[in-house]
Amino acid sequence: MNLSQKSNIIQSIATQLGFDFCGISKAEKLEDDARRLEKWLQEGMHGTMHYMTQHFEKRVDPTLLVPGAKSVITLLFNYFPSQQQNIGSPKIATYAYGNDYHTVIKQKLQEFFFMMKEKIGDINGRGFVDSAPVLERSWAQKSGLGWIGKNGNLINKQQGSYFFIASLITDVELETDQPIIKDYCGSCTKCIDHCPTEAILPNKVVDGSKCISYFTIELKEALIPNTMKGKFDNWLFGCDTCQQVCPWNRFSQANKEIKFTPLPEILEFSTKDWEELTEENFNLIFKNSPIKRAKFTGIKRNLQFINNISNEQ
């Protein structure tokens, strides 16, 4: 079996498992990304996300994650929802409308690897979905699946940026895809202009320590800094503003994964519903949701922060 035949098998498996796009790149150290990441960390743009400083070499070198790695398979899975929240409700990032993507995609990656072994032979590898030191967006660009936008997101020319990115690092050599070199954002600066906290800087740099997603999910402190007062635009968990204003997302299509069907509570909860939510019901409703990452105390903190702003206006 030659490299091309093996790569065709990979593409076929990706389609069978419902992935929207699949690209393959050679497993090699990401030298340019290493320099960018080091500078980003030195400037403190990771805020209190101390885990970002760990396993630096593994983040930029896939052979340290999978010994003998030869290929990185990158997979995109659409999460754009068919329904949107009620207008005026505290806003939830669309990736969190349904079941936790970590669980859903991880199961698909396990199936993917099992099918690869069946059809290609005795191979080794590991699958990752936002749960290990892997620079998924960089691999996606190297695999020809899109380019990195000014907002730091991977943008696919056919369907925009509402995708989960999964990586499968393997020791099998495959025919690789051509990376996308051109920046199709052009002179557009809508994501920069509309970012509520001015977290999106020039030259495709995002100050993670100023992002609403950072404050509403990653920040574990009891209080959100007063410097962010009046800037949250009613976001309770995460933020989609830079994706909502991106012209390329006019091509987004509703996903067909039943496990990403929006929870009724996310679509219908009013501010009052969120205020009256008990910890017991929170744990029950969101037990399979990414929202549980913020925990009940985090959601209540975020709600109080955006409510205080609303009450003062």
Q: Would you name the residues annotated as active-site residues? A: 130
Burial pattern 73-110, b for ≥16 Cβ within 10 A else e, equals bbbbbbbbbeeebeeebbbbbbbbbbbbbeebbbebbe
Joined together, the tokens standing for residue 90 give 């505290």
d(CA 305, CA 302): 5
Give Cα separations from 217 to 140, 271, 298 (angstroms). Answer: 25, 19, 7
Cβ atoms of 108 and 151 closer than 8 Å: no
> How far apart (Å, rounded) are the C-alpha atoms in residues 197 and 195?
6
What is the number of residues in the chain? 313
Tell me which amino acid residue 132 is. A
Phi, psi of 285 (to 5 degrees): -70, -40
Pick from 313, 308, 300: nearest CA to 226: 308
Question: Beta-strand (E) ranges in the chain?
Answer: 21-26, 71-78, 91-92, 125-128, 147-148, 154-155, 163-170, 200-201, 205-206, 235-237
- β pairing state of 147-148 and 21-26: unpaired
Which tokens belong to 180?
Answer: 């996308």
For β-strands 235-237 and 91-92, DSSP reports them as parallel
